Amino acid sequence: MDLRLLAEGTSFRVVPASVHGILWLQTYFESEHWELLADGLITLCRDDAERVCSDAAEAGLRLNPLPYPTSSNRV
C-alpha cells in the first residue's frame, strides 16, 4: 500500500503509506503542502480525492479503494 484515503465526514484524508507514496505526493502537490502531506493532515473533497486516486493508480501506486464518506449525523 502506497497511499490511503480515509473517510472523515464528507472529506477524505490523504495518508502516505510508503516511501513511494510520499515521493509521488511530492511530485503531485506544491512544496508548501509537503509537510502536511507527510503528516497525513491534508483532506480533500470527494471529487479531488477521486482525481488523486485515479492519477496515483495511473502512476502505478498501490492504494486502497476510495471509501464511502461517513455520516457526521450518526446516532
pLDDT tens by residue, 19-56: 999 999 999 999 999 999 999 999 999 999 999 999 99
Rounded-to-integer distance, Cα 15 and Cα 1, Å: 11
pLDDT per residue as tens digits for the range 59-75: 999 998 887 755 554 44
Beta sheet of 11-16, edge-to-edge order: 3-8, 11-16, 42-44
- The answer to whether 22 and 4 have CB atoms below 8 angstroms apart is no
Which cell numbers hold the place of 56? 496515483
Distance (Å) of CA 1 to CA 54, 70, 71, 75 = 15, 22, 26, 33
Q: Where are the domains of the chain?
A: 14-75
Q: What is the pTM of this model?
A: 0.80
